[in-house]
Amino acid sequence: MPLPHEYLIKSVYFAPRGRKRIHELGAHLAQRYLSAEDSLIGVIGDAGAGKSVLIQGMFPGLELTNDDLGINVRPLPLLHHFENGIFEHHTYHLDMHFEQAFSRPPLLAEAVHRALREGCRVIVEHFDQLYPVLKVNARILAGIGQEVIIARPGLFGPFPDEIKELVFKSLYHRKMAHSAEDLTVMVLERLGVPPAEGHGDVQNGFILYYNSRPAAELNRVEEMVREAIARDLIINPVGGRAITIGEKRHPCTGPRLHVRSTGEIKNFRLEKEYLRDPLTGTYSIVGRVGRG
């Protein structure tokens, strides 16, 4: 008899910003949707979307062969064990975008097939690049753009290119929202507002949570952020936990998830009133970018 997770077609979550929040979402997805029989996991998303961090949350302790910090494992354990004929690990990681610089896709597909026959689990980043030669869909597909899409494909899909089209198209709005969020936080700091107690997500935007109502006037905050956007300040990552916006350094746990300059942030606006949650008593600043 099918288990409850086998009725899954597709679930959609906001893709959070920052390593900690993506880790937490990955752990939630693994607990909710993965089973021990899911031997082939496909992960799809553009560079900087947070694929590696999501995988680390879903599979704690898994050694990634090419992660966001530029750590490359050579030789690739999957290929090395395939060539030796002995698969020493239960779970393997493969980044197709990276590995195609060293090995032909048919060889990688053969190694994956052999690992699966040996009872191993294989997690493949950029699964859309392996699928045409592997000719087997993943048991679970996870796509990350502005949203995280988790799907359990059946005979009629969804297929990797369908997930890719959705997440690649939406990632730009997530980058705009993240850059606008950090820019708003910097403006609030200039106005003497203490750091937010929490961060949240909304379609094409962000939420900042406060335990007490900040004193800043939101029309003025919006005006100052728009002034910074109009100056087209360059945004650069600084290590793994900071960015620079123009000459100003700002802490950030997702430094790769930004547009290249503030001028790329389109149609920025703030809700003109602080939104109060009657149950928790918290106040929220809500910002949006892009289409209405």
pTM: 0.84
CB atoms near residue 220 (< 10 Å): 11
- The number of C-alpha atoms within 13 Å of 65 and in the hemisphere containing its C-beta is 22
Average pLDDT of the residues in 162-173: 92
Highest mean pLDDT among 83-87, 100-104, 208-212: 208-212
Residue 121, both tokens = 């689990």
Tens of pLDDT along 32-58?
Answer: 999 989 999 999 999 888 999 999 999
Domain spanning 4-158: which CATH class is it, in words?
Answer: alpha beta
pLDDT confidence of residue 20 = 86
Percentage of the chain lying above the pLDDT 70 cut: 96
Residue indicated by tokens 């979402």: 25
Q: Distance of CA 191 to CAs 141, 205, 217, 227, 284, Å? A: 44, 21, 9, 15, 17
4-158 and 172-288 share one fold: no
pLDDT confidence of residue 2 = 46
Rounded CA-CA distance 201/253 in Å is: 16
Q: What is the DSSP string of 69-92?
A: T--B-SS-HHHHHHHHT----SEE
Rounded CA-CA distance 220/209 in Å is: 19
Tens of pLDDT along 206-256?
Answer: 999 999 999 999 999 999 999 999 999 999 999 888 999 999 999 998 888
Rounded CA-CA distance 30/38 in Å is: 11
Average pLDDT of the residues in 23-37: 93
CB atoms near residue 89 (< 10 Å): 14
Rounded CA-CA distance 81/94 in Å is: 13
Say whether pLDDT at 165 is over 90. Answer: yes
Percentage of the chain lying above the pLDDT 90 cut: 78
CATH number of 172-288: 3.30.980.10
Domain ranges of the chain: 4-158, 172-288
Q: What is the DSSP string of 214-237?
A: --S-HHHHHHHHHHHHHTT-BEEE
Rounded CA-CA distance 292/282 in Å is: 25
CB atoms near residue 251 (< 10 Å): 12
Residue indicated by tokens 């689990």: 121
Residue 234, both tokens = 């360059």
Say whether pLDDT at 10 is over 90. Answer: no
Say whether pLDDT at 19 is over 90. Answer: no
Q: How many residues does the chain have?
A: 292
Q: Distance of CA 84 to CAs 78, 79, 87, Å? A: 10, 9, 8
Query: Which of residues 48 and 177 earns the better pLDDT score?
Result: 177
pLDDT confidence of residue 5 = 55
Average pLDDT, the chain: 92
Residue 289, both tokens = 């970018």
Helix (H, G, I), strand (E, B) or coil at 148: strand
Helix (H, G, I), strand (E, B) or coil at 251: strand
Per-residue DSSP letter, 120: -
pLDDT confidence of residue 1 = 38
Burial annotation 49-70 (CB, 10 A radius, 16+ → b, else e): bbbbbbbbbbbeebebbbbbee
Banded model confidence at residue 174, pLDDT cuts 50, 70, 90:
very high
